[in-house]
A = this chain, B = another copy of it.
Amino acid sequence: MAVPVWSVDPRTGKPRAGDGPVATEATPEQVDAAVRAAAAALPALADRAARARLLRGAAALLEDSAGAIIAAADAETALGTPRLTGELARTAFQLRTFADVVGEGAFLDVIIDHPDPQAVPIPRPDLRRYKIPLGVVAVYAASNFPLAFSVPGGDTASALAAGCPVVVKAHPDHPATSELCADVLRRAAVDAGLPADTVVLLHGFQAGVDLVRHPLVAAAGFTGSIPGGRALFDAAAARPRPIPFHGELGSLNPVVVTEAAAAERAEQIGTGLAGSFTLGTGQFCTKPGLVLAPAGDGGDQLVAALTGAARQAAAGVLLDARMRENFLKGAAARVALPGVTAPVTPGAGEDAQDAGGGDGAGQAVRAGYVVVDAADLTEQGAYDLLLEECFGPFTVIVRYADAAALDAVLDRLPGNLTATAHLGAAEAGEDGGPAADLLRRLTALAGRVLVNGWPTGVAVTGAQHHGGPYPATTSTSTSVGATAIERWLRPVAYQDTPPALLPPELRDGNPLGLPRRVDGVKE
């Protein structure tokens, strides 16, 4: 019995009117067939030029289909046309960025050491090393980015750039969008002279579990919740042949506001924070979820500014009904903690306007935040709930009396994607001193450290790192930026291999013009 997959409008909580099911959940046999079909595409993907064509072609086709894709994504996610238009542009940019990465070839990490019969302690053979694709990559799409972290997103783009076929497990929040995007990628593959099954799409929870266990799956990328990601990580590790599992799971993204920063910029920081934690209805993985603000006047003014700005934040519709329920329950449980105050109470939206349309009465949620004293967080207990991510437009302000109280809270934080410091002007100019110590503390907690900014917004560039100590990510790698390609490769070295049999990347004379390291010197 095929289980139908429906496209649900979160503004109404109902399947989209007039349409039948989008697809069916994949059976174990269909998962197996999908992985085998993708695996058969591996040899064709050895052609780097074809990979670059595929990525550029996919970007162009995505732009050509922008109208239909954005309409479907908005109907399935309620993220709105402006945000989704930006996300599509980002996704196309990312695909083209990885085409550039493929073309340049630095990711191959070519190292050549010619033989040295005089080497000490023993003669050295001819050794030439580069990186090859791991094989079929399983990609688990995110709820909150139906494009940039889903079917045509960074995991897929970087895996294809590496030369790996991709089997995507669609997120149930946007199956129709996923189908449209998979169609784009498959057409782009064929246009590039590659098999359509270079990218295969699957639906269904169990299909996702079967996928990570499939013997021919060589690695996985995941963006989602801690429980879901950990379950798949565990399944990947428990395989007879374990595979790398690059999961982005959850992050509090702590922000520390120093006393000087609060004294100088309370208003600006308070309103900036309101903008960041409510952006996209608080559904970014980099949402600042815990803000350490000083006790005293500066901190009070920051809280006042935050309250004013957060009250003005438009209500919004969350991605699905389960998230809405989790947000309302989770926020209420935090508000109910003894001694915690809620200057702006999070909760359900109350009128039809909240939903951004006439049909959505009651589906929207309103942003809110709580304030707690740092002393409540220094020991394990009920307040630990405040150290867990609450997905949606909610944040926690922790008031600290002094450096010791601040340190005690930082000591208790889990790993994060980002950590931010807001510093006073003099602190920011000091070489060494307490601000430098603070940045060192934050570096230990996160994969990206910001000063005087907000963590939402993740630039796609070479120097980006989107990852961090567990549970931020399950590996040391990034899922955004050029180095994300490293996840899908493994090195191989050729010893004393005749020139004619060497891959062209490793031949003398550098016939492909690659960046290489030869006998210790960069070419």
By a beta-carbon cutoff of 8 Å, the part of chain A in contact with chain B is 86, 89-90, 93, 111-113, 119-122, 124-125, 127-129, 132, 134, 233-234, 237-238, 241-242, 244, 415, 423, 428-431, 435-436, 439, 443, 446-453, 457, 459, 461-465, 467, 469-471, 474-476, 478, 483, 489-498, 500-501, 515, 517, 520, 522
- Chain B residues with Cβ below 8 Å from A429 are 498, 500
CB-CB nearest in chain B for A230: B242
- Chain B residues with Cβ below 8 Å from A462 are 111, 113, 129, 517, 520
CB-CB nearest in chain B for A429: B500
Sample of 11 A–B contacts (CB below 8 Å): A93-B120, A122-B457, A125-B457, A241-B415, A429-B498, A436-B501, A439-B497, A448-B492, A449-B493, A450-B495, A467-B491
Cβ 8 A contact of A515, one of B113, B122, B242, B522: B522
Question: Could you say how many copies of this chain the assembly holds?
Answer: 2
Contact A490 B448 (CB under 8 A): no
Contact B498 A90 (CB under 8 A): no
Nearest CB on B from A29, distance (A): 22
Cβ 8 A contact of A495, one of B233, B448, B515: B448
Cβ 8 A contact of A493, one of B447, B470, B498: B447
Docked CA distance A452–B495 (Å): 9
Docked CA distance A140–B490 (Å): 23
Knowing A127-B464, A462-B111, the reply to whether A89 touches B121 (Cβ < 8 A) is yes
Contact B129 A463 (CB under 8 A): yes
- Chain B residues with Cβ below 8 Å from A428 are 498, 500-501
Cβ 8 A contact of A244, one of B90, B127, B475, B493: B475
CB-CB nearest in chain B for A113: B463
Docked CA distance A462–B111 (Å): 7
CB-CB nearest in chain B for A474: B242
Contact A242 B439 (CB under 8 A): no
Docked CA distance A453–B89 (Å): 52
Contact B497 A127 (CB under 8 A): no
Docked CA distance A415–B234 (Å): 21
- Chain B residues with Cβ below 8 Å from A452 are 496
| 20 extra A-B contacts, CB within 8 A, seeds A125-B453, A127-B461 | A111-B463, A113-B459, A113-B462, A113-B464, A122-B457, A122-B459, A125-B459, A129-B462, A233-B242, A241-B470, A244-B475, A439-B497, A447-B491, A449-B495, A450-B497, A462-B517, A463-B493, A469-B490, A478-B491, A522-B522
Contact A491 B520 (CB under 8 A): no
- Chain B residues with Cβ below 8 Å from A241 are 415, 469-471
- Chain B residues with Cβ below 8 Å from A415 are 241
Contact B493 A134 (CB under 8 A): no
CB-CB nearest in chain B for A493: B465
Docked CA distance A129–B461 (Å): 11
Cβ 8 A contact of A127, one of B134, B242, B459, B490: B459
Contact A500 B127 (CB under 8 A): no
Docked CA distance A415–B238 (Å): 17
Task: Give the residue among A129, A495, A497 with the most B Cβ atoms within 10 A.
Answer: A495
Cβ 8 A contact of A451, one of B112, B113, B496: B496
Docked CA distance A446–B129 (Å): 13
- Chain B residues with Cβ below 8 Å from A111 are 462-463, 483
Contact A447 B492 (CB under 8 A): yes
Task: Give the residue among A129, A439, A522 with the most B Cβ atoms within 10 A.
Answer: A129
- Chain B residues with Cβ below 8 Å from A128 are 463
Task: Give the residue among A128, A233, A448 with the most B Cβ atoms within 10 A.
Answer: A448
Docked CA distance A93–B449 (Å): 37
Task: Give the residue among A462, A471, A476, A496 with the most B Cβ atoms within 10 A.
Answer: A476
Nearest CB on B from A164, distance (A): 13
- Shortest 3 CB-CB contacts between residues of A and residues of B: A237-B237, A465-B493, A89-B121
Task: Give the residue among A453, A459, A478 with the most B Cβ atoms within 10 A.
Answer: A459
Contact A86 B491 (CB under 8 A): no
- Chain B residues with Cβ below 8 Å from A463 are 111-113, 127-129, 493
- Chain B residues with Cβ below 8 Å from A451 are 494-498, 501
CB-CB nearest in chain B for A239: B470
- Chain B residues with Cβ below 8 Å from A471 are 241
Docked CA distance A284–B23 (Å): 53
- Chain B residues with Cβ below 8 Å from A520 are 462
Docked CA distance A145–B429 (Å): 51
Nearest CB on B from A290, distance (A): 18
- Chain B residues with Cβ below 8 Å from A483 are 111, 491
Docked CA distance A470–B446 (Å): 30
CB-CB nearest in chain B for A473: B490
Nearest CB on B from A264, distance (A): 14
Docked CA distance A448–B500 (Å): 18
Docked CA distance A392–B474 (Å): 37
Contact B447 A476 (CB under 8 A): no
Nearest CB on B from A410, distance (A): 16
